[in-house]
Amino acid sequence: MTGGSVSALVSDASYTQAQLYFLDELAQRAGVYTVARALDLSGDLDPAALDAAVRGCVRRHESLRTCFRVLDGRLRQIVTAHEPALRVVDLRSLLARGGPADGAELVAQMARQEAAEPFDLRRVPLLRTTLVRLTDQRSVLLVTLHHIIADAWSLDLFLREVFARYRARVTGSPDTLPEPSLQYADFAAWQQRAEATGGHDRLLAHWRERLRDLRELDLPTDRPRPPERSYRGRSHPVPLDDRVVERLRVLCREEGASLYMALLAAFYVVLHRYSGQEDLTIGGTTSGRARPEVQHMIGFFVKMLVLRTPVRAEQTLRDVLRATTGTCQDAYDHQELPFERLVAAQGGVRKADRHPLFQVVFQMIDQSDDDLSVPGLAVRMREQPATAATFDLVCTVTGTAGRLSAALDYATDLWDRETVAALGDAWGSALRELAHRPDRAVRDVPLAEEHPHAPTALADEVRRATALADLPSDAALSVRDPWGHPAPQGVVGELVRRDLPDAPWVATGLVVRAGADGRLRAAPVADSVPVPEPAHAEHAAPVGEVERELASLWADLLDVAVVGRHDNFFLLGGHSLLATVLVTRAQERYGTDVTLDEFFRDPTPAGLAEAIAAAAGTGRGAAGADELAALVDALEQEEDHA
């Protein structure tokens, strides 16, 4: 989709963009799907040259000039000629007058706010660049993009190109970057053609068989899952021992596995021991850039993979590594199927409080260690901890210059920091065992050290149990897993007691869990039986004009003959993009800003009609989707005022 002189070019979005558009709408544009970097700049900086470098990069990559609209029942990407300018925030005078000490905390706060500021996907730009001037010799560059136009790989490409262009301008060198032969819209068109010609049918059949009778991973949490996600999150660093990593590399060469597979195998062991489940399903990621044509293209390519692996207590760690290797290789061999296509084919009721298929993700990222510095200007990347959680738990291993670091990003709705720290320690223990004793049985792997509790740690409902009626005040208590090992904090286990220092531990039969505050509370016995899908409601005809119109729209979108007022959209075959189209059409038809989140609470004609009435009652008018001609005209006006 290169070239052209019109102000806007319109084409279908890719499957990944359609899914992310849906998720962004579901999150009510809360700013959780952004990719951000902060860079320290030290030396002689030419802001005009930096602005020109940013604009040049935006001109070269259509993705950076793209916005999105639902038009004619499809999500379209609209490429404009818009070039976002570099915003400059000059703090030099403020800091010179004795403002905040060196501006460090102020800049950190600005970086957090910039990364969390939401984008409106219907309007350009979906890229923000802000230069914060601290002194004549020190500045910070903040770069934020919405994930729908770029992934982390793309952001690294963007930064390399920006500073290459900056170097050329300040040194007077020619700009040697060639015009790209393909753009992201070309990739999206190829993907759509593959679907239209049946290119995904074999892959879809494979994945549906692979995910038959899928059960959700059920990890113990500090709090019940709330009905609506807040997307609040934190990050906990997990140290990785270089010596353990080297031993794992040797083991991987013996087993024909990658280091990622070994790290994941140990993580599977922890998930098995935490949950008690033998059928474990989590998410993984690939760059989605296996084809050489897209290696240097800016866009949203990263793919989610479903990684389902059996883990049993009697297996050895080596067995788990081999099973994990098979799982990953199978997933890589069938990765061309868009994840969103698989989700739609799996069907079932979508829930607003969780992702489909999995809630835990394990990924490994090779972070660029390129030196972006240019003559007279040193450039250094800043660390930016996660503050948003789009999954329950994400374990990210980052490789930089041959060394590994790891972090657990977690939803604070569900977990406390101490519980996640204990999980990280358990993973570290499993990694050491895999590296040094790979033929040890999974059930024999110790995940935590013994830390006895005093009777004062007992919650009242546990203290009153008959099994503790004669408990001495100086007794020791511990929580054990089914194989007699000390249970990590947060894991459900059996309470054992030791009344005298040299006495043996005695089981009490009480099932407890140690919380982040050290208290031992009663816990339910884990149950991995999947929750049944809600049954189809008995047919009831739509009531009123709005319900009848919505039922007709339902029938048209889902290609079904009859829709009742209580028929669930997703049980009838609806999926995320169709839900987005449905809500968009409802906004257009009734002039109200009813949201996807409201639709998810009751995805029936009766429920949506009630949400529309409530939105109308609060005066929330919909912006509406412009006709294409009006949209292009508006974009041209934006250009005139840019």
The pLDDT of residue 3 is 41
Residue 493 falls inside a structural domain: no
The pLDDT of residue 636 is 45
Task: Provide the β-strand partners of residue 393.
Answer: 360, 410
pLDDT of 277 above 80: yes
Angle CA 77–83–84, to nearest 5: 100
Residue 599 falls inside a structural domain: yes
Check whether residue 234 and residue 171 sit in a common domain: no
Q: Is 32 helix (H, G, I), strand (E, B) or coil?
A: coil
pLDDT of 323 above 60: yes
Comparing 451 with 574, the larger pLDDT belongs to 451
Across residues 507-522, what is the average pLDDT? 93
Check whether residue 280 and residue 424 sit in a common domain: yes
pLDDT of 408 above 90: yes
Domain of 284, CATH number, reads 3.30.559.30
Check whether residue 299 and residue 427 sit in a common domain: yes
The pLDDT of residue 558 is 83
Distance CA 411, CA 286 (A): 23
Comparing 206 with 589, the larger pLDDT belongs to 206
**Quick one: three-class SS letters along 287-305?**
CCCCCHHHCCCCCCCCEEE
Q: Is 636 helix (H, G, I), strand (E, B) or coil?
A: helix
Task: Provide the β-strand partners of residue 43.
Answer: 377
Domain edge (last residue) among 184, 212, 243:
184
Distance CA 46, CA 61 (A): 23
Q: State pLDDT tens for residues 556-601.
A: 888 888 888 988 888 888 877 788 888 888 888 888 778 877 888 8
Q: What DSSP string runs through 515-574?
A: -TTS-EEE-PPP--PPPPPPPPPPP----HHHHHHHHHHHHHHHT-S---TT--TTTTT-
The pLDDT of residue 383 is 80
Q: State pLDDT tens for residues 55-94.
A: 999 999 999 999 999 887 789 999 999 988 899 999 888 8
Q: Rg of the Cα trace of the chain?
A: 27
Domain of 600, CATH number, reads 1.10.1200.10
Cα 23 off chain centre by: 10
The pLDDT of residue 296 is 92
Check whether residue 16 and residue 160 sit in a common domain: yes
Residue 521 falls inside a structural domain: no
Q: State pLDDT tens for residues 93-149.
A: 888 877 665 578 888 888 888 988 999 999 999 999 999 999 999 999 999 999 999
Across residues 417-433, what is the average pLDDT? 97
The pLDDT of residue 316 is 98
Residue 189 falls inside a structural domain: no
Check whether residue 28 and residue 109 sit in a common domain: yes
Question: Residue 355 — left, alpha, or beta (φ > 0 → left; ψ -120 to 50 → alpha)?
Answer: beta
Distance CA 366, CA 274 (A): 29
Helix (H) or strand (E) holding 321: helix 317-333
Q: State pLDDT tens for residues 160-198.
A: 999 999 999 999 998 888 889 899 999 999 998 988 888
Across residues 210-235, what is the average pLDDT? 92
Q: Are 426 and 488 in contact (CB under 8 A)?
A: yes
Q: Are 340 and 577 in contact (CB under 8 A)?
A: yes
Distance CA 388, CA 410 (A): 8
Residue 209 falls inside a structural domain: no
Encoded tokens for 32 = 């959780």
Check whether residue 270 and residue 396 sit in a common domain: yes
Range of the domain at 72: 7-184
Phi, psi (rounded to 5 degrees) for 519? -75, 145
Domain of 164, CATH number, reads 3.30.559.10
The pLDDT of residue 280 is 98
Other residues' Cβ atoms within 10 Å of the Cβ of residue 398 = 15
Q: Which of 254-263, 490-499, 579-588, 631-640 bottoms out in mean pLDDT, i.e. has the lowest?
A: 631-640
Domain edge (last residue) among 442, 458, 483:
442
| Nearest to 608, CA basis, from 625, 581, 574, 583 | 583
The model's confidence at residue 618, banded by pLDDT at 50, 70 and 90, is low
B/e letters for 602-612, b = 16+ CB within 10 Å, e = fewer, are: bbbbbbbbbbb
Check whether residue 302 and residue 437 sit in a common domain: yes
Check whether residue 175 and residue 121 sit in a common domain: yes
The pLDDT of residue 29 is 66
How high does pLDDT run on average in the chain? 88
Count of domains in the chain?
3
Residue 639 falls inside a structural domain: no
Residue 113 falls inside a structural domain: yes
Check whether residue 46 and residue 113 sit in a common domain: yes
Residue 631 falls inside a structural domain: no
Percentage above 70 pLDDT, the chain: 91
Check whether residue 105 and residue 251 sit in a common domain: no
Comparing 104 with 316, the larger pLDDT belongs to 316
Check whether residue 274 and residue 160 sit in a common domain: no
The pLDDT of residue 167 is 94
pLDDT of 201 above 90: yes
Across residues 443-449, what is the average pLDDT? 96
Cα 408 off chain centre by: 12
Check whether residue 429 and residue 561 sit in a common domain: no
